[in-house]
Structure 1
Amino acid sequence: MIRSELVTRIAEMNPHLYERECEAVVNTILGTIAEALANGDRVEIRGFGAFSVKATRAWQGRNPRTGESVAVDEKKNVAFKTGKEMRQRLNPREPETPEEIVARMLKAS
């Protein structure tokens, strides 16, 4: 899903709002997240996940075309860790087989 699809979907779910108002809300949320990450803060959205900034140290890279060594500066990257609810939605637990139910019941007793 891209940003415009998100705005359209929010507008469809909220017919009392204009699409430009929904776009302003999406832009404000994403801008606030980007600003917090730029300041080095961690952003957590319960049930969805957490964004954080990770630093990558400088290293000696290699130019693939010439094979020459190149110094690569340290960088900061955004890391995202999914929340528990999101992981459960992505990986729903499959129903237990009758054998697993019996094994669990025997183990409990």
Structure 2
Amino acid sequence: MNKTELRDAVAEASGLSGADADRALNAVLDSITSALASGDKVTLPGFGTFETRDRAARQGRNPQTGESIEIAASTAPAFKPGAQLKQAVSKA
């Protein structure tokens, strides 16, 4: 499912127009992005938790040359599914 298909599903399930569903979906995604960028967690009970995780700097290897390279520390978004989501997916 891509973003357009998700927007259409939201519009159908909620009775909103496609444009209204698109604005609502964008608002939700922007809010999650903004919260993660400021270091907050976003918890949706039954669905899961969006959070950030810090990755330490480490040594890597260039697969083409075999040369050792330094991979910088970074912060990455992560998602931990909730129990209800896990259960729904495992039944599918």
**Shorter-chain TM-score above 0.5:** yes
| Secondary structure, counterpart of 2:30 in structure 1 | helix
* TM-score (ref. length: structure 2): 0.92
The alpha-carbon deviation at position 81 of structure 1 amounts to 0.9
- C-alpha root-mean-square deviation of aligned residues, in Å? 1.1
Where do 1:8-47 residues align within 5 Å? 8-15=8-15, 17-47=16-46
Where do 1:94-109 residues align within 5 Å? none
Partner of 1:85: 84
| In 2, Cα distance between equivalents of 1:40 and 1:18 | 33
Count of residue pairs the alignment pairs up = 91
Q: Which moved more, 1:40-49 or 1:81-90?
A: 81-90
Unaligned runs of 5+ in 1: 93-109
* TM-score (ref. length: structure 1): 0.78
Following TM superposition, the consecutive aligned residue runs of length 4 or more in structure 1 with deviations greater than 4 angstroms are none
| Secondary structure, counterpart of 2:66 in structure 1 | coil
Task: Answer 1 or 2: which has greater strand percent.
Answer: 2
Match status 1:6 vs 2:6: yes
The alpha-carbon deviation at position 14 of structure 1 amounts to 3.2
The alpha-carbon deviation at position 76 of structure 1 amounts to 1.0
Unaligned runs of 5+ in 2: none
The alpha-carbon deviation at position 32 of structure 1 amounts to 0.3
| Secondary structure, counterpart of 2:10 in structure 1 | helix
Where do 1:47-86 residues align within 5 Å? 47-86=46-85
